[in-house]
Structure 1
Amino acid sequence: MNTATIILANDCLQQRNIPPIKLTTSNESHQSDPDPYEVGRRYGPIVRADILTYGYHLPPEWFGKAVPTPRMSAQQEAAMDGPSGCLAASRRELTGSHTLDSPVARQISSKSFVESLEDPKVKAVTADWSACMTKKGYSYKSPLQALSKADLKTPKASAQELHVAAADYSCKVSTDLISTWQRVEIKIQETEIAKHLPQLKEADAQRARIMAKAERIIDQGA
């Protein structure tokens, strides 16, 4: 829960004669999970310094900022839960029927990626990348396959993973895979953006309104 949501939830709790939620101290905070649409892994890792250190694992800084963990009693949890609970009520008050996310933007992102996989240029450069990896002693059909084979459940990358990731990156550079793939996706996205421009502009405006409202709530509740 973000700060504005908690402030609204606390107003709701007080109306029900329930004590407000208190946030834990910073050393009890947790890292928020990274948004897969934000971390730029659609072609696998592409930042050399990160690859040499973390392999296919996400670098620590790619995770969100520390998020204070709400400490709730059983009474507070009961009042927060459910469609008529204070959490749902506070989210409705903050965003209405909208979200910060744009379904259209995500749809375009997904469409461009899926369609790019069938593009002749992407298929050709992926084959070049695969041949490059074969010369280095690794058998993968695509960077996505190499990423999928990495054991990301371990705390950190193994020596083998670091070697594979380094080879992966080297082949991406030598074959110009990333820029080729990006150009194909951008062309698809530009076509889709033109088709859905009014919806995208409205989504941007709605996001700005929600963020401004959240800032006002925080300022008033601080």
Structure 2
Amino acid sequence: MSVLVDALEEADCQSVRIQAYGMKAPLLDFVDPAVRISHPLQEANVYDIGCTHHTGSITLVKGAAERSLYKQYPAALCVGRGYGGVEFRSRSRRDGIHHFKAYPVLTHVLKAVAQGAGQAVQPMRVNTCQRRIQTLRDWKQRLDKCPERDMCGVRLEVSVRAPSLAHAVAVAQQSKLLEADYLFSAKAGPLQLCSHRITKQQMLDGVDFLLEKA
């Protein structure tokens, strides 16, 4: 770190931006370091603000409109019926929100247990197919051990460009994009969502069906 600082000082660098990914912290009692200092690039700060809505079941979502503003990410194979997670990106919103996504809490579980099980590139060799089939079987076994209650609910997240966390939270709240009651109602207009609920067993049965075909 000292070498980096020396190099920056020698280059007459007056400001540095640092980005961090994959870290989550509750808003309660969180102290935003951006409040303590004044920085020339402060307006370019980006905050991801999110909340989890507990639904009591594995809940998949999609845009309600026939021509939805959302990009759709289907989940849970055939049993998911095309539902899954959604997102939209915007460059025109004046409130600083440039990204929104809604996805099932199930996604967090899948990320934890299914690493390496979902390669998109088509295999070129038979042994590659066999390895992927075995990977899928192992993934199913790990998923089967996860409590269904840990898969229930919907996660809503917005990315806000704002000078401070307090400002970002205020923008997120005013947008109502973190309010499930709003998003799953006609009041949301073109941003309205609809949901499809499934069970863990239905999802596992879908994997078994896929393995039988393989």
Normalising by the residue count of structure 2, what TM-score does the alignment of the two structures yield? 0.27
Computing the radius of gyration from Cα coordinates, the structure with the larger value is 1
| TM-score of the superposed pair, with normalisation by structure 1 | 0.26
